[in-house]
Chain A
Amino acid sequence: MCICLPADANQSALQPEGPLAKVVADLFWGMVAVGGLILFIVLAMLAVALLRARNNAEPRPLTFTQSRNLVFISGVVIPALILTVFVISSAAVNREIVAPMPEHALTIKVTGHQWWWEVDYLDTEGNHVAKTANEIRIPVGKPVRIALEASDVIHSFWIPQLNGKTDMVPGKRNLTWVQADQPGSYRGQCTEFCGKQHAKMAFTVDAVPEEDFETWLQRQAQPAREPATENETKGRQVFLRSSCAMCHAIRGTTALASVAPDLTHIGSRKTLAAGTLENMPGTLSAWILTPQSFKPGSHMPATMLTGEDLGNLVEYLLSLE
């Protein structure tokens, strides 16, 4: 059982979807063009060097002056010119990327944990608005400030299609920006080795129109909805009296722990276990019973539940939209 990624899923830095990633992709192609040319010219010179005397009986070496000019011009002058252009254009692109963004931009705090992402939405005064995990929603076409922290080891936050990576270092707060030009879902992944499940520490950034974003954020800010059916009520009881509540929070209930993803709106998420599994009743049950078979080493322990309890629990969790 594995996640079935959408057909167009990609996290390619060469298919940028935002202004920050775009300038870097342009820089890359510029460097490839110049670098390719350099490679071609040097290899051509090497080929000439080797083949020049081939048809002659005697070696025909360069004179001292020719050699000196060759080394000085191709080994010093031209590289120095190219590298100067390179350093300046690299710094110019860098300047564009780190340029100050609007002061009142939306700020999202993302905290790296072994092996999931805690996502907090802050208002312009820095007050906490809503909490979710592993899925970030942003308004399309607007720069969004991302404040990066880590709770345990170093992680790195990377959405190739939107912007380069920035590390999340325990005890520090790093800043980065993302902006998506088109609505869509962009995949990101941890890029600083962080232990056993570094490979399965992914997330998505969904860019949606601004109105949709506001509605979504308001809903995320709400506490969990009350159970609507008898099964859901039983499911909530299972949650609160089993080990789930020791690590997870569901706002609006007595479960307030914060060492694992907040499940207040788990039903509205598309994936489980940091982008590892699709969020469906079957996968959710399997994940609860045997998380170690999907992410060996994960800090989520296996939970022993009867079939009925499990069914109710899953029904309840998926109702939390």
Chain B
Amino acid sequence: MRSATAHQSDLKNGIFVTPFLLVFSCLLVIPLLWGAWLSLTKADLFGPGKFVGLANYSRLFADKVFLGSIVNTLYFVLLTVPAFAVCGLALALALNRQTRFATVMRAIFFASSVLSVTVVTLIWRIVFIPDIGLLSNIFGWLGLPQVAFLSSPKLAMPAIAIATLWWGIGLPMMLFLAALQQIPGEIYEAAALDNAKRWKTLWHITLPAIRRTFVLVLIVQCVLQFQLFGQAQLMTQGGPNNASRPVVLYVYEVAFRRFDVGMGAATSQVLFALILMAALVQYVVARRKEESR
């Protein structure tokens, strides 16, 4: 049986978390529940909705464009998330030194993260645009034919993925750098005394030491990249032939351009479920691996 003092202490502790819980409820829990309710209604932005049950969901799963947007989004996640993890780690390993050059390079690689999506897409449109773009000029110097990245159904999504990687590489790099700097130097010194080669050190010391950060990067990037929107809207408008239309762009078009907020909310619920599943799978797999050690 717990004493009255302990209960009092619990209540006092509760005061500390109340502001967070309030903000969390107002900005996340209530909108989430409201979104779930909206998905069961036929509603627009300017009036009360009408309950229609699962009608929005049945319309949604009969829509080829929506199903295509799911495939596009998964493809984009596959293109970007492993690339963020591998490139972020490679950059962090390369720049994990106390030299002025490494400091400047870290700042340069992180700098793109502070740009807005509008600036990023402007820059990359100039890179990809045929005839006068940077890549077009390089292809011309090499005597190679022009490639229309943004109007090719096969290349549009990889082009958006490259722009996104350039934009967002700073965060995983910094997370990996922070993790690398937590590894005690003595372990590396011991490995050096044992004549361990660089690859062996990486494989047996560095990677196991930062595995939690690795999982964190994968989960964070998964959640972020499932929400691809601005780059696709500004670089390709979801085209050509719906080849680069992600789920969030679909939500935006349905809810704000067609005033079909109920259908937009239903799409958002599906996206939420997808992100949740992807994050949970990674988390569970990582935990199991850890427990089996």
Same complex origin of A and B: no
